[in-house]
Amino acid sequence: MTPRVDQDELKRTVALAAVDLVAASLDAGQIVGVGTGSTTNHFIDALAKLKDRFGGAVSSSVASAQRLAAHGVRVVDLNEVDAIAVYVDGADEVEPGSALVKGGGGAHTREKIVAAAADRFICIVDESKVVDELGAFGVPVEVVPMARRSVAARLRALGGDVRERRGFVTDNGNAVLDLHGLAVTDPDGLEARINNLAGVVENGIFAVNRPDLVLVGSPDGVREIAP
């Protein structure tokens, strides 16, 4: 019988590996970018033990900021810093070329902003998130509320099924539409095409902002995917 894999333990293992990697390169006073989600929560919990070794953290969501602050980590606004040494975040899907789909928690706009501002982006996932091709999870699209209907129609024209997250509001005060049923064979092209729709704030494809390194937690340990 194949042993049962504890997915949460894999998330914790890869998060700890990321903390070790970050700690080895951080200088006092540097700022760490921190993402959102269950795997990132393990990273936050472990990183907080080293809070005296770095200057603070820029968070991609209110939830992560609250978790950091509860651990006594100094949380700073992106507009208050000149540089972010490294940004660490999870993903909902990762393909072999390191393009990602993110946004299961609806924080992908802020995640993309912080990732783009960082000198280095490290993605941490358990092995269930590694896929041959993006798309099965769906692509989250943050939209200005007044544009929900018009954007949904244009997303359907791409050939996908659009589902609104009813009752959900992003930290930016916007709505999220999830685009399902599309195989994302051209992540760069689809990311740009969706973002060019009037009313779209940002979508969850990370192709322009691919991570510099992906750490994957598996029962055999942590492996690396590099673009």
User: Annotated active-site positions, please?
Assistant: 111
Q: Which of 178, 22, 168 is closest to 101 using CA atoms?
A: 178
Distance CA 182, CA 27 (A): 43
Distance CA 214, CA 227 (A): 9
Give CA angle at 21 (46, 212), nearest 5°: 115
Helices 38-47 and 7-25 cross at an angle (nearest 10°) of 40
User: Residues 32-54, buried b or exposed e (16+ Cβ, 10 A)?
Assistant: bbbbbbebbbbbbbbbbeebeeb
CA atoms within 13 A on the CB side of 192: 4
